[in-house]
Structure 1
Amino acid sequence: MTVMTEEDFALAGEYVLGLLDAGQNAIVIARIATDSDFAAEVETWRLRLNPLLGPEHAPPEELWSKIEKALPADTLQDVGTNKLTFWRALTGISMTSAILMGILLLQKPVPSPTTVAPAPMIAALGSENSNAAITARYDRAQGTMLLTPVALDTGALYPELWVVPADGKARSLGMIKGDKPTEMIVSPDMRQFMNEGAVLAITPEPAQGAPDGIATGPILASGKITIL
């Protein structure tokens, strides 16, 4: 198990936010494929930041008066008496920097007591023999999975995703895209096999999938499922 440092947490966040140069990106991508703990941290950052990384919109002017009325009188004792000016100034800070600072201060937010949805599962699929790398996030509540390829080349064939549970038998989850993210619904009869410790694997197969549900190609990338 990798001992994650503050630098590792920050590096994962900077990667997701697109703040790294080409050389640093290559290093991170290689680490994602070989370090499951770091890959899990990257996916955690991705889940936290996705809702926040959309286009920025200026708040309507009337919102400021509402904010000023809602602010407690004693919260701004260290930043001057003009509460509204202070909060307006905060909006001048880079959204990216604000997100980074906030999440670094709250690395592991405590879930709301009303949260009942099971924690998502993730897997970092990689290979020691190639640069193939792909991340997977499975939502147990919805039965949906998002697969994001970092590097995946199947030549003239097509990538097929498999789950290998404790019994060692590979079961097809379907065909995925090798050049862009794939959102898929795991069929109800396959969800029972999506457990922590099960392995996700990718093989190159014909366009219609492996004949008779038996893999014909070599394993291009694989990784164990873990719970966030």
Structure 2
Amino acid sequence: MADPLLPDDAESVLAAELALGLLEGEELAAARRRQLADPAFAAAVERWALDFASLAQDVPEAAIDPSLWDRIAGRLPAADSRNLVLALRRWRALAVAASAAAAALLVILLLRPIPAPVVLPPEPAVVAQITGTEGAVFAARYDAAQGMLHVRTEAMPATRLAPELWVIPAGGKPVSLGLVANRGGRDVAVAPGHRALLTEGATLAITMEEPANAPHAGPSGPPVAAGKITIL
């Protein structure tokens, strides 16, 4: 048997039914009279009406089969008639409210604008053009995320020595980054302790060194090519 409604529950269900237009005949007339005579009940009806209006906004109406409630009542177990009617009213009010909420949510999901994709700014590019007086030309691009310096040798005088790449911070001493290719490209892994040196305005330089024992502690002669690092 359905649990009997408490007085406050019965008041709330009646107010909801009146706001939803579910009452008929004498029940409707009695509820209207009470709405006029009882300010608290009138306020409850108004609250329900506002709640249902916001839920059902822009939701198309759908007709309900008039025999639906009778079929539901016929399937319920036998119980005290007054409690059964009140329980059915409460269930019917909640069912209508839930349907309106679901329909409103569907409309919101269908009509809401699709957010524009977030476009992240490109990572700054660290580049350097390394040129010399003897026709040596190198290009360098640094990938900070991987700590990798991509160096391409465009031109270099013929020699048995190997080109060694150095970074020279402003006011500092040359630090070897390793050998690069005599021709074509080579990726140079920059040691973590040297990565902070690859900043705007620092110099990349090439000297010609003996390939053995590279990288060296310092250059053996003047650079054949040099260029400033630029961050684009």
Higher helix share: 2
Greater Rg over alpha carbons, structure:
2
